[in-house]
Structure 1
Amino acid sequence: MRKTTQSLLIVVAFLFTTVIMAQSNLKGKILETGTNMPLPGANVVEKGTTNGTSTDFEGNFMLETESNSGQLVISYVGYETLTISFNGNADLGSITLTSDNSLEEIVITAGGVIDLAEDRKTPVAVSTIKSNEIREKAANWDLPELLKSTPSVQNIKAGGFGDGAMYLRGFDQTNTAFLLNGQPINGMEDGKMYWSNWSGVLDVANAVQVQRGLGASKLAISSVGGTVNVVTKTIDNKKGGFIQQMVANDNYTKTTAYYSTGVNEKGWSFAAMLGHWQGDGYVNYTDGQGQTYFLSVGYKPSDSHVLNFLVTGAPQWHAAAGSGSIGDFLENGRRYNSWNFSGVNSPNTLHGGNNVYPGGRNIYHKPVANLSWDWTINDKSSLSTVLYGSMGRGSFAQARTSGDEVTYARGSNNNHNWYGLVSNYNNQLSENFNLNLGADMRFYNGIHFRDVREFITVSSVSASSGYSGSYELTEAGGINPWSVFFNPNTDHGQRFGYDYEEQINYAGIFGQLEYANDAFSAFFQGALSTQSHVRTEFLNVSQLGQSEESEKVNNPGYNMKVGAAYEIAENHKLFANAGYYSRQPFHDVLFRNNRGSNELLKPEVENEKITGLEAGYQLGGYGFSANLNVYHTTWDNRTLLSDNGQQDAAYVGFQTQGVKQVHMGIELEVFTRPFDNLRLNGFLSLGDWKFVGNASQRSFNQDGNEIGTAVEVEIDGFNVGGAAQVTGGINADYMILPRFSVDGAWNWYNDMYSTGSLTQPTIAMPSYDTFDAGISYKMLLGTDSRQSLQLRFNLNNVFDEVYLESVDGNLAASSDSSQNYKGVNINNTGRFGYGRTWNFSLRYNF
């Protein structure tokens, strides 16, 4: 009996010891790589089980595992997931996670072409919006609104979907270079950006970087305000994706799905996204809808070569919002649409007459494709090349009437075919010297004409070419962006009003040499380019179907940049850069500003002259960092075109040459983390932007012949309008509980001036401020740390601030106070900003 009892005790002791030995008590601390700041709410899970915990506000965790050895999967939103092994009871100490929002962690193809600021040792004035912030705050915004909390940036919404604009250091977006994975995307003819064509770009963006002023770009481009780089998803190392549903004010809804296969054993990767959105619009009668598609195919045949093919597009249509006087908005409210006509021009105009499209419908589809090749030649040299192309097809459709009857929808079409190549060779010549050489080539064909988009109460329309007689229009091009793209109107006999094409070819070479040691760096950069212009007329010729070409214009250009930086102590760096651009004029200023003519304005427009000077101080440290920049930009010999609005023999065009602007200012950015669960950042921009000296203005008739003699235009001392010269903001992010946070952003705009006639002083606008807020919560699902459910709610303009966003006019304040709004004459054309808006999204990550 005693032996039996002893045996049972031994068995029980063995089983108890086995259970004890099969369990482990683990503890550790999760920190952010580099800053060693604790990460509260990080997820710690025993791999293959549902056993897990979260870190506290100090980043500490304790976990009792179900086995003696195994692996822990550690994850935190916005950071790379880390898997570590354990064996028995252990204090795992400090474990660091690297932000997957840092640009160094993004898989970037054609990295030598994209020109991110991190690629160069000598700094520039730069702000970077990373993937986590884009995911949470972009929502249904266009790109400019995402950037509004960075120094010297102002966003103007302008009424309808995608009709907004952006100013950078007081320069409009036609003079800011926008790049998509290294591919230039500003319009070749006039530099313009239409955000309705890029409504899905933020859905696939890994990062957006704003380089103010001279920037780090080596391309043969001459941006005045700066450069905005959009880096999209290309090759994802990890398998996974998401499905997201968003709803917002004014019946807005958006559905998006994305999936990536990750990189397989043979080096292939595939990623795709599809999205659909639609809504009524904040402004009355500005409905819209569109789709977004994205496909990326990556292939890495060896360690030396990486190939990636990408295609993305955002076909859309949206109804436009007309401009109106400030008095009209005061009488009818901020949602007022001056194109909500009654009577003859009733909004019952397009597609069934359902009272939806009052003034017109913008229809566009602009797919963009590029093929990139990264070749690591050896451990010191590499070559990055991007071959790209885009085919834009679209129209602005407006109803036309005869008496009291709406007859048809007229389309003003702006199509293009654009192909280009950008290549960059990088060589680490020595420990201290790095050399970049490259080429930038673009071939652009712009196609512009008017036609019938939709017959409403008639079956044909009579037209006249001006020189070749009358003919009949019997075909309609349609008002759907997909059909417009696949069935463009190529029949010159079905066009009227104007019908011309433009061929713009551009070729540039660039180079950069940089020296860097432990404390000092310096660079020199230069580019040479040539640009040719030809305009072909199809309509106003002797016989329909024939064409006439203009004279060919060739414009050479160049730019130079030089800079240096010195680290005066650890985390303290000073830098200074200077640059000079001789920039070719835009195509549109070379010809008479009246459609249907090949007449060059002679003498030909000379290159613009741009001089940039900037200096900065960068401070980095534990829980606190700051950037201070000063700049001085001179934009000289600028040419502006305008006309009297006539399209007949009474037409007078004005060409104003020798316009000079000087923009100077100071920018401060501060980033702090007062507590482990609080991030508090702020910025302040102080600008002084003015016209300097006077300009010379010439007048032309409809045949392009000069009328009279040039006159002096007195503009010296006028303020540059369009954007606030003084801006500031504070934004904060507070983690209430692990994976549950709130954030807010306050933005302030002051010293604003109107746009309008160049010959009259701009007028001062009232300052304003807005406050946006958001709430985020992430719920972990299942045993896979990547599975989660994210909820996000944004409330914009929380206090429903009423403010004048833009004014186009020069009418001084009236002596009758009832005719003024906060000191601005209400007979000026203007637009009020949006009131309170909201959006809510639910996102499943897998």
Structure 2
Amino acid sequence: MRQFLLSVVLILASQAAFAQITGKVIDAESKDPLQGATIVIKGTQTGTISGFDGSFKLQGASAGETLQISFIGFETMEMVAKEGMIVALVPKANLLGEIVITSNVIDVAKERETPVAITTIAPSEITLKVGNMEFPEIMNRTPGVYTTKEGGGYGDSRLSLRGFTQSNTSFLINGQPVNDMENGWVYWSNWQGMTDVASGIQIQRGLGASRLAVPSVGGTVSIFTKAAEVEEGGTLTQGIGNDGYVKTSASYNTGKNDRGWASSFLLSRWSGNGYVNGTSGEGWNYFAAVGYAPEGSSHALNLSVLGAGQWHHQRSSWVSIRDYINFGESGVDRKWNTDAGELGGEEFNMRRNFYNKPLATFNWDWDISNDVTLATSLYGSAGRGGGTGPRGNNFRNSDIDLYPFNIDLTQHLLEDGKGAASRNPDGSIDFDNVIAVNRGTTSPYTGSISGFQGQLIGSNGFRNDGVNRAVLVRRASMNSHNWVGGISTLDITKDNWRYSVGVDLRSYTGFHYRSLENLMGLDGYYSTGNANSAGQIQNVTISASPFRNTGLEREKIDYFNTGKVGWQGFNGLIEYNNQSSVTAVLQAGYSNQSFRREDFFDQPANPISEKKNIGGGYVKGGANYNLDERSNFFFNAGYISRQPLFDAVFPGFANDVNTDLQNEEITSLELGYGFVNNNLKINVNAYSTNWGNRFISQGVSLPGGIDGTAQFKDVDVRHMGLELEAEYRYNSQLKFKGMVSAGDWKYTKDFNATVFNDQNQSVGNATLYVKDAKVGDAAQFTSYFEAEYKIGKLNFDLAYRFVDGLYADYSINNTDFLQPNNKGALKLPSYGLVDLGSTVRFDLLGNSSSFRVNVNNLFNTLYISESNTNIHRADESAPAWKGIDYGNSVWFGFGTTWNATLRINF
């Protein structure tokens, strides 16, 4: 009997052990699989998560039991368990997974459907891992992406994609282009608030899925922000980090009421001393959104305002490797800053960036019928701010000749002895002595301008009547703007076909001028920068603060001009999707860009230019084929005709239109393959992008002492590469992810040009010898590996990133490349960095809470993240760091940094 009972128990136990339910979790609307959904037996801790293809296997579950299935952004569902069950979760309003979609004008790419290479970063990952890093750095784990902190001031980072700079990569916030309309750049200090309000990032490499005629040479980075949340609640967040970093945030959502209204608000403040010496800063991030979507209505409205007012000190003077060694702490002191010092016992820096760029957006989505939708977005921005720097002929007085030009501080200070009187023993600047020198060497003003007799007046060039030109003041170079735009798209869906037409309208005015910010002990400044005036003395200063008067309506010095850029774009799309295996899309767009420049100071005979209109556009298409539930293939190809930037239209800061304008031409081809099963996801793609028809002007010296200017046309560069991303779930506790990106980016040939003298006469020929020269300033090989382990409510993640194929930042119009036997681009040493993070989740007074710690560059690795010079060693005996000549001006990457964040949800 005992043996019989034991056998029964063993049989029952074995049945319980092997009892399981399998099934699949999908999106009820799109039918796409949902990876990472949680499936638990109701009332127990027994559960699992769905794999990459949405499938799951729940051990210990039996048919008839009640299961709870949940996924962020979807309504939680309870279902009776049965073998092979299909769980169709219903999305919450305006949510795609974790990512909040604020308007249908946003072009979101979908895996196994949209034929482009994509990487999507969820808001949970942004919240956990950004900490006190720069916002673009969260994208460093993406194939083809390379970001650096540049000089190290907070917000001074940059990003390149597939070897193309930010001005050649499109950045969209909620579908709206944010690249500067004059120079194409993106200033991340203006968008620091993205760390608080981003609800997701999608990096579309290559041509991208956007219907706008945007500069997607390297790709498109689409950032989604929060909308008016439909559920009531809020968060309190407190963060701290290295070098005095402190950040406090609070947000609240009212939830959606019976009438369809909802609103959300966020406010945060950060401050810190900066990792680099003399780079302290502080700022406020703000966000507010109001949504209206009544039940049963075909209309949805959302109004949002976001911004990030900030100021921070910078490191702008190039620093050579020997400067890092000769100044600061022992060894290579990567924190050294040539620009930093003290004034009145407090940190002071001639270089201070300050900006506030609020962005207001109104979205209206209208479901005209079941098959027709209209999405419209209106937006506007009034950016105000700029950056400070030195002004005056201080180089004429060795006591305040502080800033080396095209040389390092070692030569300027230690070898040439310049500026020693205003440098402390450690090399930092004594700005109190600068004030003393300004005042002590300036005589009382004796000129005829009334109200200033007897005062101490400085200037940049004027030197009569007691005015002192050998002084140093702090000026502010302003780059403010007014920008409005509108995007509207009409989508028609019929059976398996989708048709879309849209318009993209933009109007931009940039205000460029200089103002006085700090007179450094003087009473006034004699300005001769306005050609409409014989000269005037100014004593009105602005404050280098993002929330104060930035001087647009006040007196100005040196220069004052505006740039006006208009944009009228039209686009169309035809897409076929049989909802199972084939998606094919063809897109085309045309844009007219208008340029006009007005100068209030420098060109009295020609104060305003003619209006120049330049057309451009694109055509691109591709297809995706799902071979089965596991494998898919895609390809895309396209051509872009891109208008030149503002400075190319008006070269030399003049109002004369360039008579030799030409559009840049970009052609691209890409192939990709994807594989997915329950535990493994792999995406691999190969690309080739040719960027040609570029124009470069170069001053050259010909034999016989003849100087002139060579204008090189049809400059071509080719970017080819292979990218792989993979993610593997070993079990519900342990997962791995990684990527490898290998590029071959180089110039395709040598380029010839005719040389013209100042009278525009041909005086000879010149050649740029750049064939096979590697493209610099971005790593051509990167890899990333991360392991994440969960045990209960505790999470650990360890990551390793390797960088190679990184070359110096150089211009091919460097005089070195006028020689046929030049050494090409300087290759920088490879490096690898380890990051460690941990999260614990818990209840705090009944509120769901978490505590996160990040340690970046765990082993304090010393490495060069970029070089501003291209100096090759003369021979093996020349002093060098890891083979890099000491004379090169470089930015060393940050050492070990850390941050910790407590987050309370209520």
- TM-score range for the pair, normalised by the shorter chain length: 0.7 to 0.9
1:331-372 deviation line (CA, Å, top 9, x unaligned): 44343334246xxxxx345xxx44413331101111111101
Alignment partner of 1:339 is 2:331: no
Q: Letter of the 2:524 partner, please give it.
A: S
SS at match of 2:133: coil
Alignment partner of 1:598 is 2:655: yes
1:78-134 deviation line (CA, Å, top 9, x unaligned): 565636599xxx9999897969998356452322x1111029933210000001111
Alignment partner of 1:416 is 2:507: no
Question: CA contact under 8 A between 1:283 and 1:334: conserved in structure 2?
Answer: no
Alignment partner of 1:573 is 2:632: yes
Answer with 363-372 or 705-714: which moved more: 705-714
Q: Letter of the 1:483 partner, please give it.
A: R
* Aligned residue among 456, 479, 498 for 2:559: 498
1:16-69 deviation line (CA, Å, top 9, x unaligned): xxxxxxxxxxx99999835798878x89998xxxxx86758997799xxxxxx9
Count, aligned residues: 773
SS at match of 1:222: coil
Question: CA contact under 8 A between 2:98 and 2:199: conserved in structure 1?
Answer: no
TM-score by length of 2: 0.80
The within-5 A match list for 1:172-211 is: 172-211=165-204
Counterpart in 2 of 1:768?
Answer: 831
With over 3 angstroms needed to count, the CA separation of the structure-2 counterparts of 1:521 and 1:37, relative to structure 1, is: closer
Distance in structure 1 (CA, Å) of the matches to 2:782 and 2:164: 15
SS at match of 2:349: coil
* Aligned residue among 143, 156, 163 for 1:170: 163
Unaligned runs of 5+ in 1: 1-26, 47-51, 63-68, 342-346, 645-649
* Alignment RMSD: 3.2
The within-5 A match list for 1:135-174 is: 135-158=127-150, 159-174=152-167
* Aligned residue among 734, 742, 756 for 2:796: 742
Alignment partner of 1:523 is 2:585: yes
SS at match of 2:375: strand
1:394 shift after superposition: 0.5
The within-5 A match list for 1:65-464 is: 78=72, 80=74, 82=76, 84=78, 103-104=96-97, 106-111=99-104, 113-118=105-110, 121-158=113-150, 159-301=152-294, 302-322=296-316, 323-332=318-327, 333-340=332-339, 347-348=341-342, 353-400=344-391, 404=400, 405-406=434-435, 408-428=473-493, 430-464=494-528
1:260-293 deviation line (CA, Å, top 9, x unaligned): 1121110101000000000011111100110100
Question: CA contact under 8 A between 1:608 and 1:638: conserved in structure 2?
Answer: yes
Counterpart in 2 of 1:670?
Answer: 726
Distance in structure 2 (CA, Å) of the matches to 1:640 and 1:259: 51
1:430-450 deviation line (CA, Å, top 9, x unaligned): 212111110111100011001
Question: CA contact under 8 A between 1:210 and 1:228: conserved in structure 2?
Answer: yes
Distance in structure 1 (CA, Å) of the matches to 2:476 and 2:827: 37
* Aligned residue among 584, 599, 612 for 1:537: 599
Distance in structure 2 (CA, Å) of the matches to 1:364 and 1:707: 45
With over 3 angstroms needed to count, the CA separation of the structure-2 counterparts of 1:391 and 1:542, relative to structure 1, is: same
Distance in structure 1 (CA, Å) of the matches to 2:82 and 2:520: 77
1:396 shift after superposition: 1.0
SS at match of 1:483: coil
Distance in structure 2 (CA, Å) of the matches to 1:542 and 1:834: 48
1:738 shift after superposition: 1.8
1:716-738 deviation line (CA, Å, top 9, x unaligned): 11100111111111112110x22
With over 3 angstroms needed to count, the CA separation of the structure-2 counterparts of 1:540 and 1:476, relative to structure 1, is: same
Question: CA contact under 8 A between 2:334 and 2:893: conserved in structure 1?
Answer: no
Distance in structure 2 (CA, Å) of the matches to 1:79 and 1:387: 26
Q: Letter of the 1:745 partner, please give it.
A: A
Distance in structure 2 (CA, Å) of the matches to 1:651 and 1:441: 44
Counterpart in 1 of 2:807?
Answer: 753
* Aligned residue among 852, 870, 880 for 1:820: 880
Q: Letter of the 2:138 partner, please give it.
A: L
Distance in structure 2 (CA, Å) of the matches to 1:36 and 1:348: 56
Distance in structure 2 (CA, Å) of the matches to 1:219 and 1:79: 28
Question: CA contact under 8 A between 1:30 and 1:97: conserved in structure 2?
Answer: no
Distance in structure 1 (CA, Å) of the matches to 2:699 and 2:266: 45
1:781 shift after superposition: 4.8
Distance in structure 2 (CA, Å) of the matches to 1:689 and 1:119: 27
1:653 shift after superposition: 7.5
Alignment partner of 1:711 is 2:711: no
With over 3 angstroms needed to count, the CA separation of the structure-2 counterparts of 1:589 and 1:73, relative to structure 1, is: same
TM-score by length of 1: 0.85
Answer with 129-138 or 810-819: which moved more: 810-819
With over 3 angstroms needed to count, the CA separation of the structure-2 counterparts of 1:306 and 1:37, relative to structure 1, is: closer
* Aligned residue among 892, 903, 906 for 1:832: 892
Q: Letter of the 2:534 partner, please give it.
A: G
Q: Letter of the 1:410 partner, please give it.
A: R
Distance in structure 1 (CA, Å) of the matches to 2:680 and 2:512: 53
1:542 shift after superposition: 4.2
Distance in structure 2 (CA, Å) of the matches to 1:671 and 1:643: 51
Distance in structure 2 (CA, Å) of the matches to 1:134 and 1:633: 30
SS at match of 2:101: coil
Distance in structure 2 (CA, Å) of the matches to 1:781 and 1:60: 32
Distance in structure 2 (CA, Å) of the matches to 1:698 and 1:666: 38
SS at match of 2:255: coil
Question: CA contact under 8 A between 2:710 and 2:766: conserved in structure 1?
Answer: no
With over 3 angstroms needed to count, the CA separation of the structure-2 counterparts of 1:699 and 1:831, relative to structure 1, is: farther
Alignment partner of 1:687 is 2:743: yes
SS at match of 2:348: coil
The within-5 A match list for 1:474-489 is: 474-484=539-549, 488-489=551-552
Distance in structure 2 (CA, Å) of the matches to 1:588 and 1:704: 22
1:540-597 deviation line (CA, Å, top 9, x unaligned): 2449xxx81012221100100011122222221111110000000111222223x4x3
Question: CA contact under 8 A between 1:334 and 1:834: conserved in structure 2?
Answer: no
Question: CA contact under 8 A between 2:321 and 2:888: conserved in structure 1?
Answer: yes
1:473-515 deviation line (CA, Å, top 9, x unaligned): 121111111003xx54324xx1111111000001110001011
Question: CA contact under 8 A between 1:643 and 1:652: conserved in structure 2?
Answer: yes
Question: CA contact under 8 A between 2:806 and 2:827: conserved in structure 1?
Answer: yes
Q: Letter of the 2:650 partner, please give it.
A: F
Q: Letter of the 1:532 partner, please give it.
A: S
With over 3 angstroms needed to count, the CA separation of the structure-2 counterparts of 1:706 and 1:196, relative to structure 1, is: farther
Distance in structure 2 (CA, Å) of the matches to 1:287 and 1:262: 38
Q: Letter of the 2:566 partner, please give it.
A: N
With over 3 angstroms needed to count, the CA separation of the structure-2 counterparts of 1:652 and 1:742, relative to structure 1, is: farther
SS at match of 2:540: coil
1:144 shift after superposition: 1.6
With over 3 angstroms needed to count, the CA separation of the structure-2 counterparts of 1:651 and 1:808, relative to structure 1, is: farther
Distance in structure 2 (CA, Å) of the matches to 1:272 and 1:556: 41
Answer with 126-135 or 94-103: which moved more: 94-103
Percent identity among equivalent residues? Answer: 36
Q: Letter of the 1:530 partner, please give it.
A: N
Question: CA contact under 8 A between 1:415 and 1:447: conserved in structure 2?
Answer: yes
1:626-665 deviation line (CA, Å, top 9, x unaligned): 1010000000012346779xxxxx9998754322110001
Question: CA contact under 8 A between 2:23 and 2:84: conserved in structure 1?
Answer: no
1:841 shift after superposition: 0.3
Counterpart in 2 of 1:24?
Answer: none
1:727-769 deviation line (CA, Å, top 9, x unaligned): 111112110x222110122111111111124143211111111
| Greater fraction strand | 1
SS at match of 1:388: strand
With over 3 angstroms needed to count, the CA separation of the structure-2 counterparts of 1:374 and 1:36, relative to structure 1, is: closer
1:455 shift after superposition: 3.4
